[in-house]
Amino acid sequence: MFFTKKKEEDKNSIEKKIDTVYAENKVAEINEGDVEILLDNEEKIEKKLAGANSLSKYMEIGKIMFGMVKDIKSGSYKSVPWFVIATIVMALLYILNPMDLVPDFIPGVGYIDDLAILSIGMGWIETDIHSYLDWKLEQAQEA
């Protein structure tokens, strides 16, 4: 009983800390160096997405986000607001960090904050992701 109650208290505490304001502050901290860090850690992040049950359903979107950042960086996909890039970088780097608000090694709740950050970020840039995918389809048809 105590363990269950404690777990629920932990979840409530997490929900209070992780909100759009927290995510906005994290996005505001992102810089060009973070983009490089993200790209250097692509394999680690994809491995973490694939390996954690609660994160595995986001594996494909993670790949799409990495592709978008690479295409922006190479100059082939243009006119993307910095906020979109920073949101992708923030969300994926947050997943990489095992010692974030809720350390990933805590059973049952370790990935709740990662999911929250990813969900908040995706909500902000969903239209941009769809535009990118439309562009990718156009590129494939032209080739």
pLDDT by residue (tens digit) across 93-138?
999 987 777 777 777 778 888 888 999 999 999 999 999 999 999 9
Look at residue 71 and tell me if it is in a domain.
yes
How many domains is the chain built from?
A: 1
Look at residue 10 and tell me if it is in a domain.
no
| Cα–Cα distance, 54 to 141 (Å, whole number) | 35
The predicted pLDDT at position 44 comes to: 95
Look at residue 6 and tell me if it is in a domain.
no
Q: Domain containing 20: what range?
A: 16-137
| Cα–Cα distance, 125 to 6 (Å, whole number) | 34
| Cα–Cα distance, 22 to 66 (Å, whole number) | 23
The predicted pLDDT at position 38 comes to: 97
- In eight-state DSSP terms, residue 121 is H
The predicted pLDDT at position 91 comes to: 96
The predicted pLDDT at position 98 comes to: 75
